[in-house]
Structure 1
């Protein structure tokens, strides 16, 4: 049973590969979520993809994984306020994105507390 549960430590960050694939495989879609007041939407799309990939690598190797997970939770929270709340008035799917992102934040915080290896950051 412990081996199955340990697998979750790797499965959870690897699930974010879907977002990396979307950011690099369909950059126009990711860029379309960037608010119009931010310049260079393609830059922000690729930059975000690189940061998500850095989060995944940090978790897999166990270096600064708690910090990376907390920063990922902050990123997802920012996406709620910068992207999804403004869009929720016109796109009904963005209300679902808000709820999904809140669940992801909760999972990230639990992961940071119980699954990360790097103990340099303590609560």
Structure 2
């Protein structure tokens, strides 16, 4: 098995600062959608943004503030003049989301896989936002946040993504009964699909960590998360189009898939079946 990879490009290497691809657009649209939902309902994104202190003073103010940040940064990511600033703000916002809202549960109940699942889901979103920030950072960020931008930042974001996938995949085994309930009724052998998708995330993690077909692994993971989003949450939008829970779950699920697509796109230009050194390079202009 190949050794765990490290990116061979220095943090000061040229970066793609002009390209706005489909994964980037999807990620931006998801943030816009999350912001719109927050502004409509004046609340956080249910379990994904659950406040540890339920009776925090000014909770609705913070909910509107978070929704505004999501909406503004999502729009900003779509326009080149504001792309750099929006990427920076969103990166900081996602880091705080993970540390303040998800890490405490893991620290308090590390034996509960559900806390790791919540952490892993938002970590995937952060990995996508981190790569956008790393590729579009300006001179100021390269000076003071050199460890988080350029090739170094992309490498760390990829590792975060890879380490997050087992947290998601293992939940399909720990909570197989609940996972089966999400499998569409028209699919045969629901337990098989629950285990298969869980195992798929774990295998993708191995491929990414050890540079074994990492582009293929990241792309298949992103595609799987997208299909799950459409099959699990899509039908509910048709049958109950006014259900806030359905919309929130649908958008958050797309945020997770969008983060995965950003990671997969960071391997653009790497051969699909590359391993080792040839799979460690970053696409640059």
TM-score (norm 2): 0.38
Q: 1:117 to 1:86 in 2, by over 3 A?
A: closer
SS in 2 for 1:82: helix
Aligned residues: 121
Tell me the equivalent position of 1:101: 253
| Rounded Cα–Cα distance in structure 2 between residues aligned with 1:106 and 1:27 | 25
Tell me the equivalent position of 1:119: 270
Asked whether the equivalents of residues 33 and 83 of structure 1 are also in contact (C-alpha less than 8 Å), the reply is yes
Tell me the equivalent position of 2:214: 65
Tell me the equivalent position of 2:195: 46
Deviation by residue 1:59-110 (Cα, 9 ceiling, x = unmatched): 1111111111111111122112211111344564332222112222322222
Tell me the equivalent position of 1:81: 230
Q: 1:92 to 1:32 in 2, by over 3 A?
A: farther
Tell me the equivalent position of 2:117: none
Whichever of the two has the greater Rg, that structure is 2
What is the Cα deviation at residue 31 of structure 1?
A: 0.5
Tell me the equivalent position of 1:2: 147
Q: 1:45 to 1:20 in 2, by over 3 A?
A: same
Q: Which moved more, 1:5-14 or 1:51-60?
A: 5-14
What is the Cα deviation at residue 21 of structure 1?
A: 2.2
Structure 1 stretches of 5 or more lacking a match? none
Asked whether the equivalents of residues 222 and 264 of structure 2 are also in contact (C-alpha less than 8 Å), the reply is no
What is the Cα deviation at residue 17 of structure 1?
A: 2.1
Asked whether the equivalents of residues 70 and 112 of structure 1 are also in contact (C-alpha less than 8 Å), the reply is yes
What is the Cα deviation at residue 50 of structure 1?
A: 0.9
Tell me the equivalent position of 2:55: none
Root-mean-square deviation (CA, aligned residues, Å) is 2.5
Deviation by residue 1:24-53 (Cα, 9 ceiling, x = unmatched): 111001101001111111111111111111
Asked whether the equivalents of residues 55 and 72 of structure 1 are also in contact (C-alpha less than 8 Å), the reply is yes
Q: Give the one of 167, 171, 188 matched to 1:18.
A: 167
What is the Cα deviation at residue 118 of structure 1?
A: 8.6
| Rounded Cα–Cα distance in structure 2 between residues aligned with 1:120 and 1:103 | 26
TM-score (norm 1): 0.82
What is the Cα deviation at residue 2 of structure 1?
A: 2.8
Structure 2 stretches of 5 or more lacking a match? 1-145, 273-282
Asked whether the equivalents of residues 169 and 200 of structure 2 are also in contact (C-alpha less than 8 Å), the reply is no
